[in-house]
């Protein structure tokens, strides 16, 4: 019994073994015409508990195909950047990918929705131009510039099943006009990646002149490497790290993997390394292409499995875990969703912590939320920061009493919400989509 994986396998197998073949009850299909077969007073099911997969799997969206410049304007005129109030200084619009089913149990074709930050109102919907039939990812450059990855899914049949296989993808630049209207959707001159490549993230500079693409690496695919394309020419510079850890984030596949400083020179990325540690590195993209290890600087190293650590949140000095992390526009800080643990007495603290890019030291913790005991799961993320890091857009737990809200997705029962964090003041974003298995908003 050497590895954690071995222990997990054995524990699962043994637990499963508690159910023996002879204990399986008979199938009851006809109680209530196929409705709930066993009505135990102490364990009632909601009437609407139909398997989500059934609903979602029919929700393959037939998105009306639009011309490249086309967009469905739902509401003319969007809010301008506020000068006061909780949304002052934050980008006025965000883009989120959406399908027909808001709570999909299976992957579905997606279009892009342009929404107003202050209200959540859908200002426009943009469909991928033919021959592409779905958007699969989005990244933001400036307030009015986004990059969308479009794919063409082809339906195939094999092994008795029907599958959608991605047979092509393309990056498009989406420019918004006044009021959040989709002004233009322009194909970018970025060559297709090999079929085995797994793109783990991409990011556009605020001035829209460089697109960085990360290939995750591992599992037999190319990478890990980072490619930077100059736009609109498409010239490419590549830094690779053969044998290096996968480039991805520590946020369960959500949130940002790459982020640019506003000077368009420094690119922050996260990498998993041996021992389940997370490294955050800064790449100088003015360096000649070649070795990613040589061209980048290790700034932060977070433990993955309980090693003692020395970062400090206020008075606490024990274990700190970092999750999604982005660089501020002025390049002076990394802002990360963090979880801090104290062993004696056992307690946790969720926060958004700022680290100096000069020294790697923690300089400030925002939105601190102490919790007695060991917190079972960390689902906070930082999605946008202003130039100095004083204002953030985050996905945060809602302090207070745990909820029975079915949209609570952490195992502790706390609701999580997208919102603006200014100092320690969190303001939920009205009308924002519920955080779920689909794509998250991008600012």
CA atoms within 13 A on the CB side of 59: 17
Among 74, 105, 197, 312, which residue interacts with another protein (rule: CB under 8 A)?
105
Q: Give residue for tokens 């410049």.
A: 69
168 lies in the site for another protein, by CB under 8 A: no
**Contact at 8 Å (CB) between 228 and 236?**
yes
409 lies in the site for another protein, by CB under 8 A: yes
The rounded distance, in Å, linking the Cα atoms of 251 and 323 is: 5
36 lies in the site for another protein, by CB under 8 A: yes
Tell the smallest beta-carbon distance from residue 83 to another protein (Å). 38
Tell the smallest beta-carbon distance from residue 41 to another protein (Å). 13
| Distance from chain centroid for Cα 112 | 15
Residues 275-294 that bind another protein (CB under 8 A): 276
Tell the smallest beta-carbon distance from residue 19 to another protein (Å). 5
**Contact at 8 Å (CB) between 78 and 180?**
yes
Among 160, 194, 288, 345, which residue interacts with another protein (rule: CB under 8 A)?
160
Tell the smallest beta-carbon distance from residue 400 to another protein (Å). 11
Tell the smallest beta-carbon distance from residue 248 to another protein (Å). 6
Q: For strand 111-116 and strand 122-126, is the pairing parallel, antiparallel, or unpaired?
A: antiparallel
Q: For strand 290-291 and strand 236-240, is the pairing parallel, antiparallel, or unpaired?
A: parallel
Pattern of binders to another protein over 188-217, x per CB under 8 A? ----------x-x---------------x-
62 lies in the site for another protein, by CB under 8 A: no
- Scanning 3-11, 90-98, 227-235, 282-290 for contacts with another protein by CB under 8 A, the matching segment is 3-11
Nearer to another protein, 118 or 149 (CB): 149
Three-class SS state of 97: strand
Nearer to another protein, 38 or 184 (CB): 38
Nearer to another protein, 335 or 408 (CB): 408
The rounded distance, in Å, linking the Cα atoms of 435 and 52 is: 16
Tell the smallest beta-carbon distance from residue 279 to another protein (Å). 14
CA atoms within 13 A on the CB side of 38: 7
317 lies in the site for another protein, by CB under 8 A: no
Other beta carbons less than 10 A from residue 322's beta carbon = 26
Pattern of binders to another protein over 338-357, x per CB under 8 A? ---x-x--x-----------
398 lies in the site for another protein, by CB under 8 A: no
SS (HEC) of 204-246 = ECCCCCEEEEEECCECCECCCEEEEEECCCCCEEEEECCCCCC
76 lies in the site for another protein, by CB under 8 A: no
Q: Give residue for tokens 């206020």.
A: 314
């Amino acid at each position: 019994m050497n590895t954690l994986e071995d222990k997990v396998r054995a524990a699962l197998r043994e637990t499963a073994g508690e159910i023996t073949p002879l204990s399986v009850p008979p199938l009851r299909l006809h109680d209530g015409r196929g409705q709930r077969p066993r009505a135990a007073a102490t364990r009632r099911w909601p009437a609407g508990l139909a398997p989500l997969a059934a609903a979602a799997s029919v929700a393959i969206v037939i998105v009306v195909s639009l011309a490249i410049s086309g967009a469905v304007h739902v509401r003319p005129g969007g809010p301008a950047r506020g000068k006061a109030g909780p949304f002052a200084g934050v980008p006025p619009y965000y883009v989120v990918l959406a399908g027909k089913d808001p709570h999909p149990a299976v992957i579905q074709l997606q279009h892009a929705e342009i929404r107003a930050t202050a209200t959540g109102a859908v200002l426009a919907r943009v469909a991928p131009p033919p021959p592409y039939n779905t958007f699969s990812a989005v990244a933001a450059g400036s307030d009015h510039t986004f990059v969308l990855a479009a794919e063409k899914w082809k339906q195939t049949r094999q092994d008795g099943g029907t599958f959608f296989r991605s047979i092509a993808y393309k990056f498009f630049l989406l420019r918004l006009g006044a009021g959040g209207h989709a002004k233009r959707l322009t194909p970018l001159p970025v060559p297709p990646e090999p079929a085995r490549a797994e793109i783990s993230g991409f990011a556009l500079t605020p001035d829209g002149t460089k697109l960085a693409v990360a290939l995750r690496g591992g599992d037999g695919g190319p990478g890990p490497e980072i490619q930077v394309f100059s736009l609109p020419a498409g010239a490419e510079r590549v830094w690779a790290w053969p044998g290096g850890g996968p480039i991805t984030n520590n946020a369960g596949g959500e949130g940002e993997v790459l982020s640019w400083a506003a000077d368009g020179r420094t690119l922050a990325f996260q990498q998993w390394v041996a021992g389940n540690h997370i490294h955050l590195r800064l790449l100088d993209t003015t360096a000649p292409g070649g070795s990613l290890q040589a061209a980048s600087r290790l700034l932060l190293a977070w433990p993955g499995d309980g090693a003692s650590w020395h970062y400090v949140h206020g008075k606490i000095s024990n274990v700190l875990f970092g999750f999604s992390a982005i660089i501020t526009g002025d390049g002076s800080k990394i802002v990360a969703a963090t979880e801090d643990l104290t062993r004696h007495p056992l307690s946790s603290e969720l926060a958004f912590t700022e680290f100096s890019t000069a020294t790697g030291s923690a300089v400030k913790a925002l939105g601190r939320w102490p919790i007695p005991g060991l917190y079972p799961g960390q689902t906070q993320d930082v999605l946008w920061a202003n130039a100095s890091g004083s204002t953030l857009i985050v996905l945060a737990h809602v302090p207070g009493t745990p909820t029975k809200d079915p949209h609570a997705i952490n195992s502790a029962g706390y609701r999580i919400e997208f919102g603006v964090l200014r100092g320690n003041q969190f303001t939920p974003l009205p009308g924002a989509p519920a955080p779920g298995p689909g794509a998250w908003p991008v600012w």
